[in-house]
């Protein structure tokens, strides 16, 4: 079993749709969680951190469920510019483990 | 305002050749990482370092060596390149504080023929 697993995708949604991704992790001692966005052939860039209490940044909401060991990312009112691959990353004692990513395509 | 810089950006190697990829960061970060990313897949951790003079193995360390002689630099070496090492390599750095994001370099596209 992989340490970090993401919804396989791809997700193809129309503009304005709401879409949610999940990411599960196997190590209960994991300490920090993030969502990164990666555009084709570019380096990953931080989308948002995931806090225990959940956090929101505009159209994006991230949540952490420690009991079930997963994090989620919700995107509301999808834009064409949201098309990208979304990577979750889990950090434990300095070691960071990425999921394989979920590809989102937003269509007109 | 350089952040994390990787060199080279592109390289073609013949099987059996060796090379070193350099990662430099100017943010005084303690943690540095080397990842590889194959088409359609996520980032897999090769090696990482929690401070100057330290290194540790990640998920896929075989065929690679690393050194962190200076805090700002993290070198990734391929002693005898193989076609299976054809990939995009990303370096990243982060602070000691748990919960702080990692910053990535722009990647090195390596092809081994």
Whether residue A20 lies within 8 A of chain B, CB to CB, comes out as no
pLDDT tens profile A1-57: 788 999 878 899 999 999 999 999 999 888 889 999 999 879 999 899 898 888 999
Cα distance between residue A23 and residue A11, in whole Å: 15
**What confidence tens digit (pLDDT) does each residue in B3-17 have?**
999 999 999 999 999
pLDDT of residue B110: 96
Which residues in chain B have Cβ-Cβ distances shorter than 8 Å to A49? 99, 101
Residues of chain B positioned with their CB less than 8 A from the CB of A31 = 98-99
pLDDT greater than 90 at residue B91: yes
The answer to whether the beta carbons of residues B112 and B13 sit under 8 Å apart is yes
**Mapping DSSP to helix (H, G, I), strand (E, B) and coil, where does residue A67 land?**
coil
Q: For residue B2, what pLDDT is reported? A: 67
pLDDT of residue B96: 53
């Amino acid at each position: 079993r992989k340490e970090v697993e993401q919804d396989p995708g791809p997700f193809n949604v129309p503009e304005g749709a709401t879409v949610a991704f999940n990411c599960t992790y196997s190590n209960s001692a994991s300490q920090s969680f993030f969502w990164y966005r990666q555009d084709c052939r570019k380096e990953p860039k931080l989308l948002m951190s995931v806090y225990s209490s959940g956090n929101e940044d505009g159209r994006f909401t991230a949540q952490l469920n420690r009991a079930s060991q997963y994090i989620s990312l919700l995107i509301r009112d999808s834009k064409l510019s949201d098309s990208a691959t979304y990577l979750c990353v889990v950090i434990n004692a300095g070691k960071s483990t990425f999921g394989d990513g979920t590809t989102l395509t937003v269509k007109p | 305002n350089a952040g994390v810089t990787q060199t080279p950006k592109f390289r073609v190697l013949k099987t059996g050749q060796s090379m070193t990829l350099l990662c430099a960061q100017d943010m005084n970060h303690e943690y540095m990482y080397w990842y590889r990313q194959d088409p359609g897949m996520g980032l897999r951790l090769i090696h990482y370092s929690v401070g100057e003079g330290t290194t540790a193995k990640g998920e896929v360390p075989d065929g690679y060596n690393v050194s962190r002689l200076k805090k700002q630099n993290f070198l990734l070496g391929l002693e005898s390149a193989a076609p299976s090492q054809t990939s995009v390599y990303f370096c990243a750095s982060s602070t000691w504080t748990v919960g702080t994001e990692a910053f990535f370099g722009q990647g090195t596209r390596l092809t081994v023929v």
